Structure 1
Amino acid sequence: MTNESEFKGKVALVTGAASGIGAAMARWLDDRGIGRLILIDMDRAGLDALDLSCPVIARAAMWRTLHCGSCSNATCLNSTMPC
């Protein structure tokens, strides 16, 4: 079992934080006294809807497309686009 003192003063980054396992993880850390959270997800409204008691130092709605060898163009490999 994890005690609250393990998370006091710590910062955690949670991806997929707007729903599902990511949201559950953010709540779990919040319940255990995490110092601060950084939340990332494609769903900005879902991030904003999370009701957490700990300080959230960043809520980022972002996405990155991963190309697996199908393109060698640097512009293509570094592109961002919605899913």
Structure 2
Amino acid sequence: MIYVMNSPILTAPGKYAYELIDIERARRLLKEPFESAIGHEAAARFLSKLIGVEVPTQRISIAMRPGDVAVIFRVKQR
């Protein structure tokens, strides 16, 4: 499963890799089915416009499993 998140969190024990990617790679990844864990409506709207794919607002808890991917959008400043 691919998750879209706005905060890097570890949801379960395991081995994780964290790397920076550009917006084009994020767009390619999100052409596949994904689950949104973006809980703020304004953030979901912004991401939808940024990547060109509808990102629904969903305040959900996730539990990542081996093989899952998280695309995390971080705000650099407020």
> Relative contact order (C-alpha < 8 Å, sep 6+): which is higher?
2
Shorter-chain TM-score bucket reads: 0.3 to 0.5
Larger Rg: 1
Structure with bigger strand share is: 1
Normalised TM-score (structure 2): 0.34
Structure with bigger helix share is: 1
